[in-house]
């Protein structure tokens, strides 16, 4: 049996689902692109190769092994992109929530069903159909749940808008004892530097009281300011548009003092080390071309 337990983003990790890049399928067509960054690389002929992405994910698996984290991988579906396990589910406290994702990604959930089957069914929920929510938009922080959303009337026009207001309401009702705070995110189908695909593309808490933040990812400045004040300006690392594009906020915490980060994030990694963090650097630049990084490809099941 697996007993899911996640109270925040940084407590010591014990079990995780790490996506897979195996049998990733051919390079998508322009029409098949889910996000502007993948689209950019499809058009430029620089879309990542499967062998490179498999290598990058193995590097992360090795870091998990070093820290004695139990790692589950999805069953391989032929020609299917299964890298971003964060999208398809998430744990809040002791509840595993299956995400309502884009319909043609449903089989990705089937591929981790063998893991979900090891959880007591009363701790597994699937929101109703009208509730859109993906794990990248849900950040659990002790008494708070932070959720990225898109509140504008043209929500339905954006394939990059993944969590609707119904998603926020659903979580709010499910966890009445927590403070649920939602953030209206900037969306763009065409410009990856103007698109916060998920909340973790422009914000992530680290350690016990720090955060990485990107101001322009938020449509409403007051909501960005709220986070800045919540963590304290002196505890926040503010990233630029280019750093957001490279996914600097999408690192992953193994514990309150160990962070897995991309090896090219020089400014961020230097700051993290100056703050006393141990930084485990991995190559992840190829996977980043699909507008996702380390947090996106991990689904924590158990943290202390």
pLDDT score of 60: 98
User: How many angstroms separate the CA atoms of 242 and 276, rounded?
Assistant: 25
User: How many angstroms separate the CA atoms of 269 and 282, rounded?
Assistant: 11
Domain boundaries defined on the chain: 13-303
SS3 labels along 6-30: ECECCCCEEEEEECECCCCCCCCCH
User: Over the stretch 112-151, which tens digit does the pLDDT of each residue have?
Assistant: 999 999 999 999 999 999 999 999 999 999 999 999 999 9
User: How many angstroms separate the CA atoms of 127 and 13, rounded?
Assistant: 26
176 by DSSP, 3-state: which? coil
Q: How many residues does the chain have?
A: 304
Which CATH class, in words, describes the domain spanning 13-303?
A: alpha beta
The DSSP call for residue 264 is T
Rounded (5°) CA angle 134-34-173: 15
Taking the CA atoms of residue 283, residue 257, residue 226 and residue 94 in that order, the dihedral angle to the nearest 10 degrees is: 90
For tokens 């955060």, the residue is 211
Tokens of 230: 């919540």
User: Over the stretch 196-254, which tens digit does the pLDDT of each residue have?
Assistant: 889 999 999 999 999 999 999 999 999 999 999 999 999 999 999 999 999 999 999 99
What's the mean per-residue pLDDT of the chain?
94
User: Over the stretch 38-56, which tens digit does the pLDDT of each residue have?
Assistant: 888 888 999 989 999 999 9
pLDDT score of 281: 98
């Amino acid at each position: 049996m697996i007993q899911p337990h996640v109270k925040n983003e940084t407590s010591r990790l014990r079990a995780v689902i790490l996506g897979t890049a195996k049998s990733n399928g051919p390079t998508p067509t322009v029409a098949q692109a889910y996000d502007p960054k993948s689209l950019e690389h499809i058009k430029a002929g620089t879309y990542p190769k499967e062998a490179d992405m498999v290598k990058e994910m193995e590097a992360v698996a090795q870091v998990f092994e070093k820290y004695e984290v139990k790692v589950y991988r999805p069953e391989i579906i032929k020609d299917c992109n299964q890298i971003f396990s964060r999208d398809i589910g998430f744990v809040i406290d002791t509840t595993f929530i299956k995400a309502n994702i884009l319909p043609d990604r449903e089989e990705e959930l089937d591929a981790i069903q063998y893991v979900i089957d090891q959880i007591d069914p009363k701790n597994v929920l699937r929101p109703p159909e009208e509730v859109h929510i993906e794990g990248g938009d849900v950040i659990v922080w002790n008494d708070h749940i932070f959720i990225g959303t898109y509140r504008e009337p043209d929500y339905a026009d954006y394939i990059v808008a993944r969590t609707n207001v119904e998603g926020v309401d659903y979580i709010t009702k499910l966890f009445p004892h927590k403070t649920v705070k939602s953030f209206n995110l900037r969306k763009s189908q065409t410009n990856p530097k103007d698109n916060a695909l998920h909340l973790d593309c422009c914000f992530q808490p680290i350690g016990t009281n720090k955060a990485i933040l990107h101001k322009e990812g938020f449509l409403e400045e007051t909501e960005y300011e709220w986070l800045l004040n919540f963590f304290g300006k002196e505890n926040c690392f503010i990233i630029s548009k280019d750093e957001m594009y490279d996914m600097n906020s999408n690192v992953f915490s193994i514990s309150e003092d160990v962070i897995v980060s991309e090896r090219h994030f020089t400014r961020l990694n230097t700051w993290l080390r100056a703050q006393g963090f141990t930084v485990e650097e991995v190559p992840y630049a190829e996977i980043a071309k699909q507008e996702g990084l380390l947090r996106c490809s991990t689904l924590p099941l158990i943290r202390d």
